[in-house]
């Protein structure tokens, strides 16, 4: 198992955040680490996303740093230049896969079908994001993938929450799950770090309990 897989398997929950300020994103990363979550996926959904990612990278915070919502070759090249730990795309195309290979970028391509998994594997990828998880019944989908793609691992994202995350994590091919419920947009914008820390600690405790509702 790759080093990235081992790290994310140990962390289990990857918080997915839309960055609204550079300093705020750095503070958020600090809050996640202090809450026991050592990973973050910063999405390319605002103009300052790359700058915020670079700030977190340069802050010295011990966190597994990822960037999400890569939708073009240019995104792949921009993110690879930052030297992040991983990147995530909501889907996949041959051009995006080729660019990630060329840039030696640890990409989790987005999939929601067996054909997309096969395409990703043709380019050497075996760790995928399944998106949008709840909308495509990712639990059933990934469970079915197990016998067909035993070498593949997955990170479901989209609709994952406190009530269903342990169900996802019960599948051996799921190493981690992406979640936004612990990072409400209004609280991120306002810098309500105490509230976010409480939500994160609740999530960590719940995952450690293994309880499935």
Active-site residue, from 41, 122, 201, 202: 41
Alpha helix segments (H runs only) across 35-176: 49-58, 73-82, 94-103, 114-122, 138-148, 165-169
Which residue bears the tokens 């840039």? 103
Alpha helix segments (H runs only) across 41-135: 49-58, 73-82, 94-103, 114-122
Residues in the chain: 213
What are the backbone angles phi and psi of residue 179, rounded to the nearest 5°? -145, 145
Q: Which two tokens stand for residue 87?
A: 């990147």
202 is catalytic: no
Active-site residue, from 129, 134, 189, 201: 129
47 is catalytic: no
Active centre residues (catalytic): 41, 129
């Amino acid at each position: 198992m790759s080093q990235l897989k081992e790290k994310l398997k140990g962390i289990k929950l990857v918080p997915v955040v839309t960055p609204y300020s550079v300093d705020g994103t750095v503070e958020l990363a600090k809050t996640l680490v202090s809450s026991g979550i050592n990973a973050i996926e910063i999405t390319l959904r605002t103009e300052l996303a790359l700058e915020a990612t670079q700030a977190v990278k340069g802050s010295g915070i011990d966190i597994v740093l990822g960037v999400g919502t890569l939708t073009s070759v240019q995104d792949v090249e921009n993110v690879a230049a930052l030297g992040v730990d991983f990147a995530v795309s909501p889907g996949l195309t041959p051009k995006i896969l080729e660019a990630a290979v060329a840039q030696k970028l640890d990409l989790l391509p987005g999939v929601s079908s067996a054909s997309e998994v096969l395409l990703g594997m043709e380019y050497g990828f075996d760790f995928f994001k399944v998106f949008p998880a709840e909308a495509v019944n990712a639990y059933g989908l990934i469970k079915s993938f197990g016998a067909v793609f035993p070498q593949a691992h997955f990170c479901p994202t989209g609709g994952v929450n406190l009530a269903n995350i342990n169900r996802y994590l019960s599948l051996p091919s799921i190493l981690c799950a992406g979640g936004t419920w612990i990072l409400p947009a209004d609280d991120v914008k306002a810098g309500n770090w105490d509230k976010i820390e409480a939500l994160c600690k609740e999530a960590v405790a719940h995952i450690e309990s293994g309880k499935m509702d």
